[in-house]
Protein backbone atom coordinates (compact mmCIF):
# COMPACT_ATOMS: atom_id res chain seq x y z
CA UNK A 1 0.00 0.00 0.00
CA UNK A 2 1.34 3.40 -1.01
CA UNK A 3 1.31 6.14 1.61
CA UNK A 4 -0.62 9.10 0.22
CA UNK A 5 0.04 11.34 3.18
CA UNK A 6 1.93 14.60 2.77
CA UNK A 7 2.31 17.95 4.47
CA UNK A 8 -0.83 20.12 4.39
CA UNK A 9 -1.13 23.75 5.48
CA UNK A 10 -4.03 25.98 6.46
CA UNK A 11 -4.75 29.27 8.22
CA UNK A 12 -6.56 28.72 11.53
CA UNK A 13 -8.71 31.34 13.24
CA UNK A 14 -8.55 30.61 16.97
CA UNK A 15 -9.97 31.99 20.20
CA UNK A 16 -9.29 31.05 23.82
CA UNK A 17 -11.34 28.15 25.14
CA UNK A 18 -13.79 29.20 27.83
CA UNK A 19 -12.04 29.58 31.17
CA UNK A 20 -8.52 29.72 29.73
CA UNK A 21 -6.07 32.58 29.16
CA UNK A 22 -3.59 31.35 26.52
CA UNK A 23 -2.77 34.85 25.25
CA UNK A 24 -0.25 37.19 26.93
CA UNK A 25 -2.70 40.11 27.04
CA UNK A 26 -6.21 40.18 28.51
CA UNK A 27 -7.22 42.51 25.65
CA UNK A 28 -6.58 39.80 23.07
CA UNK A 29 -9.77 38.12 21.88
CA UNK A 30 -8.52 35.94 19.03
CA UNK A 31 -5.71 35.06 16.69
CA UNK A 32 -4.66 33.57 13.37
CA UNK A 33 -1.89 31.07 12.73
CA UNK A 34 -0.69 28.72 10.02
CA UNK A 35 -0.90 25.06 10.94
CA UNK A 36 1.08 22.33 9.17
CA UNK A 37 0.20 18.66 9.52
CA UNK A 38 0.99 15.28 7.95
CA UNK A 39 -2.33 14.30 6.42
CA UNK A 40 -3.96 12.25 3.69
CA UNK A 41 -6.58 14.81 2.65
CA UNK A 42 -8.30 18.04 3.71
CA UNK A 43 -10.57 16.33 6.25
CA UNK A 44 -7.66 14.52 7.85
CA UNK A 45 -5.76 17.83 8.03
CA UNK A 46 -8.67 19.67 9.70
CA UNK A 47 -9.04 16.90 12.27
CA UNK A 48 -5.33 16.89 13.17
CA UNK A 49 -5.03 20.69 13.22
CA UNK A 50 -8.12 21.04 15.41
CA UNK A 51 -6.92 18.38 17.86
CA UNK A 52 -3.51 20.03 18.17
CA UNK A 53 -4.95 23.52 18.73
CA UNK A 54 -7.36 22.18 21.38
CA UNK A 55 -4.35 20.76 23.24
CA UNK A 56 -3.00 24.30 23.31
CA UNK A 57 -6.29 25.53 24.91
CA UNK A 58 -7.71 27.13 21.76
CA UNK A 59 -11.13 26.80 20.16
CA UNK A 60 -10.96 26.67 16.37
CA UNK A 61 -13.37 29.14 14.78
CA UNK A 62 -12.40 28.01 11.29
CA UNK A 63 -9.59 26.93 9.02
CA UNK A 64 -9.18 28.37 5.53
CA UNK A 65 -6.73 28.26 2.62
CA UNK A 66 -6.22 24.54 3.19
CA UNK A 67 -4.04 22.82 0.61
CA UNK A 68 -1.08 20.50 0.26
CA UNK A 69 2.03 22.49 1.19
CA UNK A 70 3.61 21.72 -2.18
CA UNK A 71 0.87 23.75 -3.91
CA UNK A 72 2.00 27.04 -2.31
CA UNK A 73 5.40 27.44 -3.95
CA UNK A 74 4.07 25.91 -7.18
CA UNK A 75 1.49 28.72 -7.31
CA UNK A 76 4.19 31.34 -6.69
CA UNK A 77 3.00 32.16 -3.16
CA UNK A 78 5.64 33.53 -0.83
CA UNK A 79 6.49 31.27 2.10
CA UNK A 80 8.48 32.46 5.11
CA UNK A 81 11.74 30.85 6.13
CA UNK A 82 10.10 29.70 9.38
CA UNK A 83 7.23 27.96 7.57
CA UNK A 84 9.69 26.24 5.23
CA UNK A 85 11.54 24.96 8.31
CA UNK A 86 8.30 23.76 9.90
CA UNK A 87 7.40 21.93 6.68
CA UNK A 88 10.71 20.06 6.76
CA UNK A 89 10.11 19.05 10.39
CA UNK A 90 6.56 17.83 9.69
CA UNK A 91 7.78 15.85 6.66
CA UNK A 92 10.51 14.28 8.81
CA UNK A 93 8.61 13.36 11.99
CA UNK A 94 4.93 13.68 10.95
CA UNK A 95 4.08 15.85 13.97
CA UNK A 96 1.66 18.79 13.64
CA UNK A 97 3.26 22.23 13.93
CA UNK A 98 1.91 25.75 14.54
CA UNK A 99 3.51 28.87 13.08
CA UNK A 100 3.67 32.27 14.79
CA UNK A 101 0.34 33.22 16.40
CA UNK A 102 -0.89 36.68 15.35
CA UNK A 103 -3.37 38.07 17.86
CA UNK A 104 -6.04 40.77 17.65
CA UNK A 105 -8.04 42.70 20.25
CA UNK A 106 -11.40 44.46 20.44
CA UNK A 107 -9.72 47.68 19.33
CA UNK A 108 -8.79 46.28 15.91
The H or E element that residue 31 is part of is strand 28-39
Say whether pLDDT at 1 is over 60.
no
Decide if 31 contacts 104 (C-beta within 8 A): yes
Say whether pLDDT at 40 is over 70.
yes
The pLDDT assigned to 90 comes to 98
Asked if the structure places residue 56 within a domain, the reply is: yes
Asked if the structure places residue 74 within a domain, the reply is: yes
- For 47, the domain range is 6-105
Number of separate domains in the chain: 1
Say whether pLDDT at 2 is over 70.
no
Asked if the structure places residue 70 within a domain, the reply is: yes
Arithmetic mean of pLDDT over the chain = 90
Q: How confident is the model at residue 24 (pLDDT cuts 50, 70, 90)?
A: low
Asked if the structure places residue 1 within a domain, the reply is: no
More confident residue, 105 or 10: 10
pTM confidence score: 0.88
Asked if the structure places residue 20 within a domain, the reply is: yes
Q: Is 75 exposed, middle or buried (0-12, 13-18, 19+ CB in 10 A)?
A: exposed
Amino acid sequence: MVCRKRVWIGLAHIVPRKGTLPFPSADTIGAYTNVLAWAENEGDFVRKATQWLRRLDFKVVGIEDIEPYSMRPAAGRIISKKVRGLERLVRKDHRTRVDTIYTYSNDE
